[in-house]
Amino acid sequence: MSGPAQPVREQRLVFGEVADIYDRQRPSYPAAVIDAIVAFAGLEGDTQTPVTEVGAGTGKASVLFAARGLALLCLEPSSAMAAVARRNLTPYPNAQVQVTSFEDWRPAANSYGLVLAAQSWHWVSTGARYSQADRALRPHGSLAVLWNVMVNRGDECLQADLQAAYGDLVQSPWAMATPERAEVNGWVVDEIESSGLFEPGRAVVRVPWQRSYDTESWLDLLSTQSDHRMLEEETRGRLFDRVRAAVEANGGAVAVDYVTVCYLARTRGPVT
């Protein structure tokens, strides 16, 4: 007899398996990007206009917006991630966390001043991304979609050794973008324009920055990547042994160049 069927793991929800590690090792976002979003949305000093965050995770971006006094509703489909977000947002009574997906959320129509998504927009179903945002946003309300994009990890020797570490186990997951463009998610621009729901023209904000990881922190970071989480446990263990050896052979640290890229757009006003 076979045992009970194992539950199917959804890739978009596997972050909850390592919620505390995710919170500890995933990077935050530059203050300049958050300030640019708030200014674009015209929400400086506004504590009343509701704002919603899509896929808030453990609140890496949420706390930055909540600290600016915004009336923030964080949507997060993983209960484990949402629990950490609530803990991180404890100092901010203006921020609430709701366990739901953006697709299943039922907002009061045309009442939100800003819909934002940090590191999460690609997990929203294509059919719901812009129609749901348009439904939630007031006329001329703002959409902000941002990612931390890794554009370099270590010197050429380390990069070659990391590439080799993946070898026959799994294809190396990251193709490096150039710091000048960092357009790995440039599809957002095309989708915004083709949706017909937003005003012509849009803003793209890019802010470069750096962070260094020691060997164990780098492995922790990898363990929060959904493609690594979806590997068989034995394969992931072998891969991490190889990656550990590669980093240790190159000084025990990975210096990463990031660019935070943010796409901004406003919904159209009513037809007159």
Tens of pLDDT, residue by residue over 221-266, are: 999 999 999 999 999 999 999 999 999 999 999 999 999 999 999 9
How far is the C-alpha of 205 from the C-alpha of 146, rounded, in Å? 9
26-50 mean pLDDT: 97
* Residues of the chain above pLDDT 70, percent: 90
What backbone torsions phi and psi does residue 236 show, to the nearest 5 degrees? -65, -40
pLDDT at 17 over 60: yes
pLDDT at 11 over 50: yes
In the chain, the largest separation of any two C-alpha atoms, in whole Å, equals: 68
Q: What was the pLDDT predicted at 269? A: 74
Q: What angle do CA 80, 86, 92 make, to 5 degrees?
A: 165
**Which residue, among 89, 72, 221, 64, has the nearest Cα to 146 in the 3D structure?**
64
What CATH number has the domain spanning 11-151+177-210+258-266?
A: 3.40.50.150
Contact 239, 170 (CB under 8 A): yes
- The two three-digit tokens of residue 171, written as one number: 């294809």
Q: What was the pLDDT predicted at 43? A: 98
How far is the C-alpha of 147 from the C-alpha of 56, rounded, in Å? 13
Q: What was the pLDDT predicted at 127? A: 87
Q: What was the pLDDT predicted at 1? A: 41
- The two three-digit tokens of residue 107, written as one number: 């907002």
Contact 266, 133 (CB under 8 A): no
Contact 253, 215 (CB under 8 A): yes
Region of 117 (left: φ > 0; alpha: ψ -120 to 50; beta: rest) is beta
pLDDT at 158 over 90: yes
How far is the C-alpha of 214 from the C-alpha of 174, rounded, in Å? 19
pLDDT confidence band for 172 (50 / 70 / 90): low
